[in-house]
Amino acid sequence: MKIEFQNISKQFGEIKANDDISFTIDSGTIHAIIGENGAGKSTLIKILSGQLTPDNGTISINDNVITLGSTSYATEQGIGILGQDPLDFSNFTVLESFIAGSQNNQVFLSKSKIEQTIELYSRQFDWDINPNSLIKDLSVGERQQLELIRLLEKGTKIIILDEPTSGFSLEQKEKVFDTLRTLAAEGYSIILVSHKIEEILEICSKATIMQNGKVIQTVTLPIEPNDLVNLMFGEQSYVQNSFHLYSETTQNITIEVTKNNQSKTMENFYLNENLIVGIAGLQGSGADSFIQSFITKTNYITKILTETDTYIDNTSITYVPADRLEKGLFPDMNIMQHVALVHNSNGVISWPEIKILSENLIEEYGIRGEPSSLAQNLSGGNQQRLMLSLIPKETQVLLLEQPTRGLDVQSASYIWSNLIESRLKKVITIFSSVDLDEIYNYANYIICFYNDNIVAHGTQKELPRELTMQKISGR
């Protein structure tokens, strides 16, 4: 099925997520949509699948303009999404999960019919799915296979895959790729959203590159991997960090990194306290998980050792998450209530004092709101400013997860100027980012992640931008 995007635009506040997008996906092809995080890929996919309504523009399927903004209508048109985290019922069997999923879609199938369906597709695609297996016992790849069966059974002809191979073994990936090639040969249109350059070159015939909400180019594949990486990241100019940090101490620190399933330390990073450490990696690379590993067990266990051979404990570490309303703030609480949580004295709250303190923080951090403003009603930039205003003054280590994600240029600039001027002289600062401009503007030392592994590290001189681009793309 041929898909035509014509002048699609979608704006969220001041941010143009999609800006006059036009391109065509041919029938019977596997077409990649690639770009840095924040390029506009997810917004475009949500528009195609009916989750969002565009401000302008149309989408045509086989030259017929479709209605946008309805997921049920998109399903009727044969559009389906296979996400990186399939919706499953972990304590159900495969059969029970399939029954529940079909009922949710108001399609009632008999047990024998479902067994026949699973067996048919398993035989066709050389899969090995046991209908009586528990979902929780299936691998990621097998769950994806089950989800794909659901889509095909519903009559899906346009299949959108969002980072589909996260957590796959090589064998599982090859099985899914073989299936996609078979489906494309049968006339299905496959859209692959991925950061993995090698996979795109292996399976896709075309790629549309997006950047800052716009389509930069649609290219026929294969091309040289480095050429695709350059198109993906763009020939953007960037400014090397020109700020100077004067630490109150000259203390050196050691960051000890251990894999969760190993007893020996895997990496030691010997750094000066006044360095800013940037963790670079694309979405799902493990960079954010690494940030979290300083305060909780993830795939890594990370500790910071001081010159006096003492570890910095969690009470001196402040973590600022990327999901502001999910993890960082309470959506239904106002600014004054957030301030009270951090600045109460021995559990006693003086609301007149809290109000004055809130007004002072609002002015100091440039928060556009009142003490009574709910967190959920603030813009993303003002939510981030609020979180920074709540950082305890006794913080020794500041962990920032995607600190400017989704922020406009002005807000992002403010966040970093505030961090540099007010915080970085006093604390060890470690941040993750998918934005290489941000990494190279502010980080003195860089650690690169790909596929949940540290693949490179060093200073900006030791690790130039082009090499970082290659490393975080798996090259």
State the Cα–Cα distance between residues 23 and 8, nearest whole angstrom: 10
Write the class of the CATH domain 3-233.
alpha beta
Going from N- to C-terminal start, the domains of the chain cover 3-233, 252-472
The mean predicted confidence, pLDDT, of the chain is: 83
What is the H or E stretch that residue 218 is in? strand 214-220
Interval 241-264 mean pLDDT: 62
DSSP letter, residue 176: H
Report pLDDT digits (tens) over 15-72. Answer: 788 999 999 999 999 999 998 756 788 889 999 999 999 999 999 999 999 999 999 9
Among the listed residues 36, 381, 30, the one whose alpha carbon sits nearest the alpha carbon of residue 184: 30
CB-side neighbour CA atoms (13 Å) of 34: 29
pLDDT digits (tens, 9 = 90+) for 93-105: 888 887 776 654 5
Per residue in 118-155, pLDDT (tens digit) is 888 888 888 888 888 888 777 666 777 888 888 888 88
The mean pLDDT value for 348-364 works out to 92
What is residue 86's predicted lDDT score, i.e. its pLDDT? 55
Asked, colleague to colleague, whether 3-233 and 252-472 share their fold, the answer is yes
Express each pLDDT in 426-470 by its tens digit: 678 899 998 888 899 999 899 999 988 999 999 999 999 999 988
Alpha carbon of residue 93 to chain centroid:
30
**Could you tell me which residues come within 8 angstroms of residue 62 by beta carbon, excluding any fewer than 6 positions away?**
1, 2, 27
**Quick one: pLDDT at residue 240?**
38
Residue pair 455/429 in contact by the 8 Å Cβ criterion: no
- Quick one: fold of 252-472? Rossmann fold (3.40.50)
How much is the pLDDT for 407? Answer: 66
d(C-alpha 103, C-alpha 126), whole Å? 27
Q: How far apart are CA 194 and CA 214, in angstroms?
A: 17
Report the candidate in 407, 404, 444 with the shortest Cα–Cα distance to residue 424. 444
The confidence band for 268, taking pLDDT boundaries of 50, 70 and 90, is: confident
Helix, strand, or coil (residue 243) = coil
Q: Is the dihedral of CA 340, 345, 347, 348 positive or negative?
A: negative
pLDDT tier for residue 410 given thresholds of 50, 70 and 90 = low
Stretch among 98-112, 180-194, 234-248, 299-313 having the lowest mean pLDDT: 234-248
Instruction: Please name the amino acid found at residue 149.
Output: I
Whole-prediction pTM: 0.59
Q: What percent of the chain has pLDDT over 70?
A: 84
pLDDT digits (tens, 9 = 90+) for 284-313: 788 988 999 998 878 788 888 888 888 888
Q: How confident is the model at residue 245 (pLDDT cuts 50, 70, 90)?
A: very low
Residue 249 pLDDT level (bands cut at 50, 70, 90): very low
In the chain, how many H helices and how many E strands? 15, 19
